[in-house]
A and B are shown apart, each in its own frame.
Chain A
Amino acid sequence: MNVNQSAPPLPPFGQSQPVYPGYHQSSYGGQPGSTAPPTPYGAYNGPVPGYQQTPPPGVSRAQPSSEAPPASTAQAPCGQAAYGQFGQGDVQNGPSSTVQMQRFPGSQPFGSVPLAPVVSQPTVLQPYGPPPTSAQVTAQLAGMQISGAVAPALPPVGLGYGPPTSLASASGSFPNSGLYGSYPQGQAPPLSQAQGHLGAQPPQRSAPPQASSFTSPASGGPRMPSMTGPLLSGQGFGGPSLSQPNHVSSPPPQALPPGTQMTGPPGPPPPMHSSQQPGYQLQQNGSFGPARGPQPNYGSPYPGAPTFGSQPGPPQPLPPKRLDPDAIPSPIQVIEDDRNNRGSEPFVTGVRGQVPPLVTTNFLVKDQGNASPRYIRCTSYNIPCTSDMAKQAQVPLAAVIKPLARLPPEEASPYVVDHGESGPLRCNRCKAYMCPFMQFVEGGRRFQCCFCSCINDVPPQYFQHLDHTGKRVDAYDRPELSLGSYEFLATVDYCKNNKFPSPPAFIFMIDVSYNAIRSGLVRLLCEELKSLLDFLPREGGAEESAIRVGFVTYNKVLHFYNVKSSLAQPQMMVVSDVADMFVPLLDGFLVNVNESRAVITSLLDQIPEMFADTRETETVFAPVIQAGMEALKAAECAGKLFLFHTSLPIAEAPGKLKNRDDRKLINTDKEKTLFQPQTGAYQTLAKECVAQGCCVDLFLFPNQYVDVATLSVVPQLTGGSVYKYACFQVENDQERFLSDLRRDVQKVVGFDAVMRVRTSTGIRAVDFFGAFYMSNTTDVELAGLDGDKTVTVEFKHDDRLNEESGALLQCALLYTSCAGQRRLRIHNLALNCCTQLADLYRNCETDTLINYMAKFAYRGVLNSPVKTVRDTLITQCAQILACYRKNCASPSSAGQLILPECMKLLPVYLNCVLKSDVLQPGAEVTTDDRAYVRQLVTSMDVAETNVFFYPRLLPLTKSPIESATEPPAVRASEERLSNGDIYLLENGLNLFLWVGASVQQGVVQSLFSVSSFSQITSGLSVLPVLDNPLSKKVRGLIDSLRAQRSRYMKLIVVKQEDKLEMLFKHFLVEDKSLSGGASYVDFLCHMHKEIRQLLS
């Protein structure tokens, strides 16, 4: 695995960028040139069928890996070089270099394992290594082909892959062996458990290193090898191929752009495996048993494979191996590599089109003219010059913008620039704001707009001379001339009604119907508010918050409270006219907390008492929002409503809803209605709210269906958040709710915001996703915007772009700060443009891509059947990959799955999206849950979608207790769980602590304070506070995980083999899901099939 992943990426990256174009061809040529290749190719075709037939896809994987190693060995030097490059360019590959080395040993054991079976292999490998890359390539190819050939023979096996591999191995034992070696490695690294094998490893070690070296060489030139590798792997498993390709490519440093073709590797594995399978399996069975499980499935999808089979017939149908999960691209590995490679140095934004480190990597940003990736992340940092290219690639061009993102304490928040009465300097034509990309000409008297090329005069008070490079001499004194992100103080022209805004207000609107009272919510909330009101957001060094507060309670009527400081007691005003809501009082409703503290405290004391005996179960909803909005309107300020609501609003009033939950609609054309609001009333209401700058945050405490799809319309359109606590009980959910509430109340918010994204000529923002409202096609209106909310913007070409000038984005956000100051926040980002598709693929960010695709799909379910949406996603993904394969990868057998390095995780992540609750609901997922998640994802940033779709699984007992760092994550698959360990799993919303059945008693004792596994309470949500290192560490880890997420994650302790485990398994996204979601391996096969169809 490691080898595959790490090594392959490296080479491609480093090399690919510079050499790429040439590479391809050359490499290609190289491949053909190699004698062996041709045959392999032929074999290739064969392999596919074999694949299907042969059950053991694993084998196929093994092959790729095995191949890889040889390659690496051969080109060891190259590999190193590649590594170096890695560090720089390739996040994924880069980091791994060192790690890989380490891992290799780990992998070796594996390798050894396989080796054992096919003793010959190792030897073969070495030989391989020695021969030039071309040789390797051929060898691999041969192997591949063989496998393919075998496949036919093996046809029966679903895993066709496996068989082919075996075939391959048969034909050329070498390749197989090589694969093998790699294979083991791959597995070994991820699984710490692999250690067990270590004993065996040592011998192979040499091999692994080779592998690594291999890869590097591959990067050098050896597209060819990579190709071969890929071929084989392709048949078997895209995953492995990825890693391998690099390897492969490395060996044949010739000309091939190895980097690009990460895919290579997968191909190789099969043959080797097949040959080695017997032994391999044996060994693996112990360690990898589970892995194979999935493979069988794999086989089935591939029925089409017959063609493959034809190829190599040889066969070794026997060892039906499955695709080895370890051989396919691992998110964990990629994340780990990026962390290691790019986490240490600050990311300097001065260079155009740089791909930032992954969101999972901790890094510092130095703003030198482009907005920090914390504010803007793009799907690609290199935009095709023409729309034809863009269409061909199908890679969506999108930016995920988080305008008010919170920054780590080490980074300074944007400077505030005050241009006095004249206001910020803007282009006269396109109204873009002054930014570092503006060109000053005529000695500084004019400037040319970088967006529309209009020449503008520089106002006298802004004039400054230029230095010899044409730069203003004061460029570094002015944030707007030197930084990517900064703020302007807005003048009165930027304010509503040409009046400076008054400070915003918070209105707390509390459901006091029977359910809310009974669950203890009201009492809890009122108690909390007393102290929470001291922590309203304030600006800078302000002593007290400028925000005023108001209170409303409601069931089917509304109660307003007059909490004017001069009153001895609060006054309650009941408004029952819910059909025509109005605000009954003006003075005394919105007050300063400090001035009215006594009255507020008295009120909060009395609310739970007043309604303690309520029998009212009906509630209204729309009138509540209406009331809050009217109150803000009356007070002439923007603000935020905090709604605490419990039930479906069935009382007679506008916005009345009925229970329309109908599970029978799932998987029908009408399923989309479940996501659509029941009535248009809420949209209208939301529109009014937006006009008033009234943001709505909704806290739901449902005991049954509340129609989240409809209730969340207003929060969604006003830039608010929705929190849902199903079956809320104070004892269990108190901490989670209070924590969310505190955070939500305290977080810094901008109000009454308008965001506009300007682009340089050639591209245009055409589509927007997120929680906001748009009344025209360009302005994103946000009643409220906090640091957690993102807006995803999609761009399309409307003209040709210029490689030299690149493409510029300027995101301008006009908002009212929580102190009532009107401001403009500007983010600028410059991107590269390319005429070669390869450049596009080399500068993509899969995480962002997934963010976009998920949002796109989640919006799609509103209008199309879910199945259509899923198919669209798969098709698009296949097109992206096919385009790469066709245009960027060196020619190779159609049976080979080749993935671009930057996108090698695309299939796994996409699969996670496809099997998410919204797109493929399980039986236990309620309609409300789906709607809830749907709207959550809509405003998630890249980091959130990343972990949401691919949860983090952390082994707790593997690493030494003393180590302060987070334990390395493992892949989200059941087979990665050892029943002797404890794991934490989190996805940003949920947090599980999984306890294996045979965990040491000591561990149980020190964590749970009970003497045995059986005594642990299943479903426990709090760990006892115990004074021992393990307990402290685990609790500390949980705390730190929670601190990273914008929502509090409630802990659930799950015991192995317990009922709750089903819930937990739902999040093991690499496995087949109960609701029919494909396992990673299966999906990869499927994706491969799709790609092949597109290519043929």
Chain B
Amino acid sequence: MATYLEFIQQNEERDGVRFSWNVWPSSRLEATRMVVPLACLLTPLKERPDLPPVQYEPVLCSRTTCKAILNPLCQVDYRAKLWACNFCFQRNQFPPAYTGISEVNQPAELMPQFSTIEYVIQRGAQSPLIFLYVVDTCLEEDDLQALKESLQMSLSLLPPDALVGLITFGRMVQVHELSCEGISKSYVFRGTKDLTAKQIQDMLGLTKPAMPMQQARPGQPHEQPFVSSRFLQPVHKIDMNLTDLLGELQRDPWPVTQGKRPLRSTGVALSIAVGLLEGTFPNTGARIMLFTGGPPTQGPGMVVGDELKVPIRSWHDIEKDNARFMKKATKHYEMLANRTATNGHCIDIYACALDQTGLLEMKCCANLTGGHMVMGDSFNTSLFKQTFQRIFSKDFNGDFRMAFGATLEVKTSRELKVAGAIGPCVSLNVKGPCVSENELGVGGTSQWKICGLDPTSTLGIYFEVVNQHNAPVPQGGRGAIQFVTQYQHSSTQRRIRVTTIARNWADAQSQLRHIEAAFDQEAAAVLMARLGVFRAESEEGPDVLRWLDRQLIRLCQKFGQYNKEDPTSFRLSDSFSLYPQFMFHLRRSPFLQVFNNSPDESSYYRHHFARQDLTQSLIMIQPILYSYSFHGPPE
């Protein structure tokens, strides 16, 4: 027991991985009977102060369908300078740079302690980070003032060469040109009109510059800043300018009559922000930061009409199918989110209002792109101010705790397939030999895009054992999984982090004890919770609960010890002892229960639940757990 706990902890610290099962059932049938799927929580960018990135590129398996990366699990023939891929067993020649390789002179990636290793890619253009502020001006005076101050403050936190842009919206949407002297210039869009990306780029005059930019891509990175120089400028150049601009920002001047909501064109503003970046910096790390103080009330993406007497949709309305704008709005934001994800940008939503702001509809923007979602009562609260400030917090290296445009690729040994992932990611739709036909979460692919992530962003990744029962894995065999995360570091470097793990196979019939002992109930609880929440997004609440209950019952049936007709005789082993309790709390958590929560709040909770690491997730499921830990070891 202790060993497994230590093992799990060690693995988590080194690789950022927690598996539900740490010894794997060796056949599909057995795996299914385990009830809790074989899955893991992966924190791709787990902070590893002890892990200096290596300054060269990884060595890939030469088989085109594999392309696994050389890792400590590979067998190496030092004399022949060959290595065998542990996923496809292809034998590969070492590249010329590895000629000096020997048992005593191993490259880092072959050392066991480097089961997780980070490479820095030197080639390719490095483009600066981009921060595009999308600011609602339909705010109360003091709210706007507070927001302005926060934004001005944030300028000082940005790296000097980062590009910033500003879009403000109310009844109209204004894209501010930052490079002008004397006169402040902005492009104005109607807040009611759905524009295509092409139209937006035409209207912003980006079409022509975009062409040369693509050509310039390979060679001259220095040309890029010119592309959209009018709207996105390096902080150091327009610091003062932008500070003034923000300072002069006025509340939306259009009159709001009694009994009406201000007209807020959030949908169009976001659409323009997305279109702007899409046209100018595709596949470059960029954050669209949306600050909104109320629900979108006009144009595409509108969530509620401007009549105050008509309240914004509640769960009640949604159940009654009475939320007339919801579907259309959701579709609009999903479309935007997908486009954003395709371009590798992420969208943050900072919504501060006493009433709902349409997070339900907009959630996908943050969920699919790995952006933040912050919900508060007012911009003039420390909650918002500090949260916002923390976005720009730095790590021990002085780098931002954020990364962009990541792709996560999962490779498995042949007994395993990938069923799906749940977390702030979108599928890249890469089919491959290791992709399962059964989907859990976002499946059907072995690669996902995570447009924005930080050191705690965690994905749940679900696997399927495909080994048939009649062709058991030889005793002592190990299954291996490799996670390859390519991303843009906040220092603008492109990096690749590779984590390769292996676990023992065990025959469930003969070695059930082993498997049972290697059960990680915390990880399993979170992974099951993620599945539940994922289902809750699309299914009726009671169905999800029933499903959860059934899973729990089946699990207990499988692993519990009891005498028939004697409830008191029921016992679970230590490794399962907390699991039912987690499920109990999960059932009544805001992630699955919508009672007393607004749709926005539900979306907010679910958003956070789907991206936090294990510890945070557990706290969210069972808040008391943390206090327990003060008084003694958890039961």
Contact = CB atoms under 8 A, between A and B. Distances in A.
Given A560-B188, A580-B193, A584-B172, A572 B254 contact: no
Contact of A575 (B187, B195, B202, B255): B187
Nearest to B254: A586
B183 A569 contact: yes
B182 A569 contact: yes
B187 A570 contact: no
A580 B195 CA distance: 11
B190 interface: yes
Interface in A564-581: 567, 569-577, 580
Contact of B174 (A559, A573, A586, A587): A573
Contacts of B183: 569-572, 602-603, 606, 610
A567 B186 CA distance: 15
B203 A585 contact: no
Contacts of B205: 557, 576
B184 A584 contact: no
B182 A606 contact: yes
A577 B272 CA distance: 13
A557 B174 CA distance: 15
Contacts of B180: 572, 610
Interface string A924-944: 000000000000000000000
Given A586-B254, A587-B253, A571 B189 contact: no
Interface in B319-352: none
Contacts of A603: 183
A577 B195 CA distance: 10
B163 to A, nearest CB: 20
A461 to B, nearest CB: 40
Contacts of B255: 586
B548 interface: no
Nearest to B188: A584
Counting chain A CB atoms within 10 Å of each CB, the highest count among B177, B189, B195 belongs to B189
Given A584-B172, A586-B253, A586-B254, A574 B187 contact: yes
A582 interface: yes
Contacts of B459: none
Contacts of A580: 190, 193
A606 B172 CA distance: 25
A559 B174 CA distance: 12
Interface in B235-285: 248, 253-255
A1066 to B, nearest CB: 46
A557 B255 CA distance: 26
A582 B253 contact: no
Contacts, number: 65
Of the four ranges (under 10, 10 to 19, 20 to 34, 35 or more), the interface on chain B belongs to 20 to 34
Nearest to B174: A573
B184 A576 contact: no
Interface residues of A, number: 25
Contacts of B188: 560, 573-575, 584-585
Interface in A581-613: 582, 584-588, 602-603, 606, 609-610
Contacts of B193: 577, 580
Nearest to A605: B182
A573 B187 contact: yes
B497 interface: no
A714 to B, nearest CB: 22
B253 A577 contact: no
Contacts of B184: 569, 571-572
B204 interface: yes
Interface string B154-178: 0000000000000000001010010
Contacts of B190: 577, 580, 582
Between A575, A577, A587, the greatest number of chain B beta carbons within 10 A of the residue's beta carbon is seen for A577
A270 to B, nearest CB: 76
Contacts of A587: 253
Interface in B412-437: none
A45 to B, nearest CB: 78
A686 B183 CA distance: 33
A609 B181 CA distance: 11
A1089 B183 CA distance: 71
B253 A574 contact: no
Contacts of B253: 585-588
B91 interface: no
B187 A576 contact: yes
Nearest to B189: A577
B46 interface: no
Contacts of B189: 575-577
Interface string A241-284: 00000000000000000000000000000000000000000000
A557 B254 CA distance: 23
Contacts of A575: 187-189
B635 to A, nearest CB: 63
B28 interface: no
Contacts of B204: 576
Nearest to A573: B188
Interface string B189-223: 11001010000001111000000000000000000
A624 to B, nearest CB: 15
A586 B254 CA distance: 7
Nearest to B185: A572
A1063 B253 CA distance: 56
A659 to B, nearest CB: 23
A606 B180 CA distance: 11
Among B186, B187, B188, B195, the one with the most A-chain Cβ atoms within 10 Å of its Cβ is: B188
Contacts of A602: 182-183
| Best-surrounded residue of A560, A570, A584, A586 (most CB of chain B within 10 A) | A584
Contacts of A570: 183
Contacts of B174: 573, 584
A510 to B, nearest CB: 15
Nearest to A585: B253
Nearest to A582: B190
Interface in B42-74: none
A725 to B, nearest CB: 28
Contacts of A576: 187, 189, 202-205
Contacts of A584: 172, 174, 188
Contact of B186 (A571, A586, A606): A571
A571 B187 CA distance: 11
B185 A574 contact: yes
Interface in B361-410: none
A576 B187 CA distance: 7
Interface in A152-186: none
A1061 B396 CA distance: 88
B198 to A, nearest CB: 12
B321 to A, nearest CB: 32
A654 to B, nearest CB: 14
A573 B248 CA distance: 15
Kindly name the residue among B180, B186, B195, B203 whose own CB sees the greatest number of chain A CB atoms within 10 A.
Answer: B186
Nearest to A560: B188
A587 B190 CA distance: 16
B543 to A, nearest CB: 45
B236 to A, nearest CB: 22
Contacts of A585: 172, 188, 253
A681 to B, nearest CB: 19
B186 A573 contact: yes
A559 B177 CA distance: 13
A323 B120 CA distance: 104
Minimum-distance CB pairs A-B, first 5: A576-B203, A584-B188, A572-B185, A574-B187, A587-B253
24 contacts: A567-B248, A569-B183, A570-B183, A571-B184, A571-B185, A571-B186, A572-B180, A573-B174, A574-B187, A575-B187, A575-B189, A576-B187, A576-B204, A577-B193, A577-B195, A577-B203, A580-B190, A582-B190, A585-B188, A585-B253, A587-B253, A606-B182, A609-B182, A610-B183
Interface of A: 557, 559-560, 567, 569-577, 580, 582, 584-588, 602-603, 606, 609-610
Given A580-B190, A585-B253, 5 more contacts: A572-B185, A573-B185, A574-B185, A576-B205, A577-B195
